[in-house]
Structure 1
């Protein structure tokens, strides 16, 4: 990662980048989860009846995405992190790591907690056309990919909002510094 920090973060960029990145990343991740395995509907079904599960699932998912985007902003704006992060690709790597850790936290703690609160002992599997253990593995893989997509998009949007763009973009787009 970079040795020289060539950009400054301000409060608007930090919180705006975290919130916007969280929402955009949440949409990208939500599409992976919704279209890949119906996991958004599954999330909503833990809270509401099946008739409104998709809408409730998307609402809860987007609220959590924005909150975790703000959490990312709070972490990545710390001086210790800023001393290491200096380029667009650095933000992508930090976003991927954040997404991976978030996936472990969500899959290992938040989702089981939501299941316990809803009184659900096991997920209604198979909810994929793939039966048994294969369906569970596909579901877990899509869950992991979704969180990596979230982190990647979050890192990219956060960096862009804060004026850190991929190398070479400045040659084609005038950037204010």
Structure 2
């Protein structure tokens, strides 16, 4: 490597800087898509997939499943965000609606994206959202608020040992990904 400096200390510094730079690029640009693909393939991280098309479900009234709802904001997301109820008890096969409230507490128009996660992760194959605000970004004008519905069904085939599932949403600020015109076309009103 003739382009490297002659001094061994400088040579080591250049090599270490190159390695650290590569590690940052790998961690920021390559790992997230790989992680998403890995989670999709394995079902880990409790990702519950996309919209579920409900077929005629039979409600299993002999079982009750406790569903807990958690909402957090990612660092830098100033909105108020949370479920109207923290816990519900449902029967497998029963469609249930839960409302979340969101309020843009800032003086600027913003767009948020909620990312779901379900625990225990084995339940994610049996937890189906038929409609969810997490399928799309949510745009709110400065100082406005909205009600965001989420409909779900827990499959009757949920393993018997799972008595409680926790659905967690993390809300991210994605405003910078959109133009002002796109933001205005996406503005959410109470649904």
TM-score calculated relative to the size of structure 2: 0.26
Higher relative contact order (Cα pairs below 8 Å, separated by 6+ residues): 1
Which protein has the larger Cα radius of gyration, Structure 1 or Structure 2?
2
Q: Which protein has the bigger helix share? A: 1
Q: Which protein has the bigger strand share? A: 2
TM-score calculated relative to the size of structure 1: 0.27
